[in-house]
Amino acid sequence: MIKDIWHTSFTVENIERSIEFYRDILNLELVHEQVQHNEYTAKLVNYPNAHLKVAMFAIKGGHERASGHVVELVEYVYPKGEYVPTGTAHTRSAHLAFEVEDIFVMVEKLKNAGVRFKSDVVSIEAGRNKGGYTVYFFDPDDITLELVQPPK
């Protein structure tokens, strides 16, 4: 039986650039970094001689998770992967949504930091989150992220 979600992971092109974005712009807490260049990792990812750089982040002030983190970023030093098309309509695409208290304040902060958005803030007009607000934005690798302000 599944008990909880351990973490969400994205593959990034440059781990240092991504750490700066997730830590300094999104204000997530960098809780661990590691290099994985060992037999166990090669078996797990099924790439002989795989060499990965990994960074793990937690939500500041969030609840403790058994894994210690909620977002994992992975740079494949070897093998280098191919760039895949961005966009949420593509099969196998994913996005991660962050809950915020004031979406308009957060969007302004992110825009001032040069973050790109897919649209303006959208009022949620139907469904279980009716009365809230949402918006998609992009990290440095064009990974789609979302801000959600739930209804009051």
Map out the domains of the chain with their CATH numbers: 8-78 (3.10.180.10), 95-149 (3.10.180.10)
Can you give the pLDDT at residue 35?
A: 98
| Average pLDDT over every residue of 107-126 | 97
**Whole-number pLDDT of residue 82:** 87
pTM of the model: 0.92
Q: What is the pLDDT of residues 129-143, one digit of tens each?
A: 999 999 999 999 999
Query: Beta strand pairing status for 95-99 and 144-149?
Result: parallel
Q: What is the token pair recorded at 56?
A: 């793990």
Give the model's confidence band at 93: pLDDT under 50 very low, under 70 low, under 90 confident, else very high. Answer: confident
3-state helix, strand, coil in the chain (%, to 5): 20, 30, 50
User: Which residue has 């897919």 as its token pair?
Assistant: 118
